[in-house]
Amino acid sequence: MATEVVMPKLSPTMEEGQLARWLKKEGDKVSMGEPLAEIDTDKATMEMQALSNGVLRKILVQEGESAPLGQPIAIVGEPDEDISALLEKSKGKTAPAPAAKAQEAVATTAPETKPSRPAPAVSPDGKQPGAAAAGGRMLVSPIAARMAADAGVRLDSLRGSGPGGRIVKRDIEAAITDKQRPAAAAPRLRALTAPQPGEKGAVYGPSAYRDEPATEMRRTIARRLVTSLGPVPHFFLTSEIDMERAADMRASLNELYPDLKLSINDIIIKVTAAALMQHPQVNASFQDKTIRYYEHADIGVAVATENGLITPVVRAADVKSLSDIAAEIRELAGRARARKLQPEEYTGATFSISNLGMFGIDEFTAVINPPEGAILAIGAMTPKPLARDGNVVIRRTMRVTMSCDHRVVDGATGAQFLQTFKQILENPIYLFLG
């Protein structure tokens, strides 16, 4: 009996998914439990498994398109089974997701011609580039955009073969194939209908641009931040920390154990966990009618990926050694960038750390990730003159800012936590006394 394949819930915070890749094509046999497609969720790319046996009769949502949870995305049935009733039923359920609607609006409202505009340049095969296909607006599927970035393919040199001139996966694959062929001897054609930028008499109009659908991760980040900074009453505490001893300890440990590859961030994670154990009021979250206090410090560590920010969680960091934390965070960060984390690996932190010091940022404030009660923003470690025993000395210092949810953490409570954090980090030998 033919059945609908619907968009599954693959992560706790997922509200819709984006078809990254179909692993089967129409007419292929499928077996229960067999991977059917790859879905871009808000945090990772995950495999969707078939829930029945049969043949993939119809794909309703194409690669690069989004669908809300529960929307039919395909039909599986017997080879000769009549699926017309299911197709008709699915028509009312497969309304385009927000990203798809935005693309349609761009494609249908783009001006057909503007005589005052210069004619678009052409590619060597005589095709107009993708940007010109939609009146200066470039439509690109997310998977095509990622493939183009990885292969170094210029999107503005392509003409999309998808709906409305959209650049899709097959266009990038063709471009990669062309790129691998020997360069043609024919000269590159050039539009001569208007002066080129920089030439005498050139007229500049509004800049061309392209619209790319927001990834599920980026849309989820947007939704969660709106529900954080507004409803959560933030306040901020900043402290400057002498990092000389912590930096020396790191250098000594890495010299003794070259395979350890300990980072300052690893030390910060361990110190944070130790401070949280001394101040359990900070290792807490607001739960509407209750405040939840956690027994262990599950530290979320912000990792930047090409699609947005994700926070893999180091569980029970308070009972793990520095070497365990260093190895675990390297492994988690690598899989986060590859979009291979499982939902339980990036949800349920009790406290988070965001470190932008490696980008040269001296100080910043971070937005709390609900329902956590606080987040620590770490700035760069830089040398500066300090007064010590009546003398001016050069010391490596670091500024940290703690964002607190005032419903959970009072000002004095947050200040006491930060004082303990500073004390341990300035005297990291404490970590080996417990």
Active site residues: 406
Distance CA 275, CA 262 (A): 20
Kindly state the helix (H) or strand (E) to which residue 277 belongs, with its residue range: helix 264-278
Tell me, rounded to whole angstroms, the distance of Cα 191 from its chain centroid: 39
Distance CA 42, CA 12 (A): 10
Question: Which residue's entry shows tokens 């341990």?
Answer: 424
Residues counted in the chain = 434
Q: Of the candidates 433, 427, 422, 429, which has an alpha carbon nearest to the alpha carbon of residue 279?
A: 422
Question: Which residue's entry shows tokens 């359990």?
Answer: 280
Q: What is the 3-state secondary structure (H, E, C) of 144-163?
A: HHHHHHHHCCCHHHCCCCCH
Distance CA 371, CA 363 (A): 24
Tell me, rounded to whole angstroms, the distance of Cα 345 from its chain centroid: 15
- Tokens read off for 227: 């529900």
Q: Please count the other Cβ atoms lying within 10 Å of the Cβ belonging to residue 419.
A: 14
Q: What is the 3-state secondary structure (H, E, C) of 270-309?
A: HHHHHHHHHCCCCCEEECCCCEEECCCCCEEECEEECCEE
Alpha helices in 29-181 (DSSP H): 84-91, 98-109, 142-151, 169-180
- Tokens read off for 34: 């067999």
3-state secondary structure of 373: coil
Q: What is the bridge-based pairing of β-strands 299-301 and 351-355?
A: parallel
Q: Which residues are registered as beta bridge partners of 399?
A: 240
Is residue 364 within 8 Å of residue 379, measured between CB atoms? yes
Distance CA 105, CA 107 (A): 5
DSSP secondary-structure letter at 27?
T
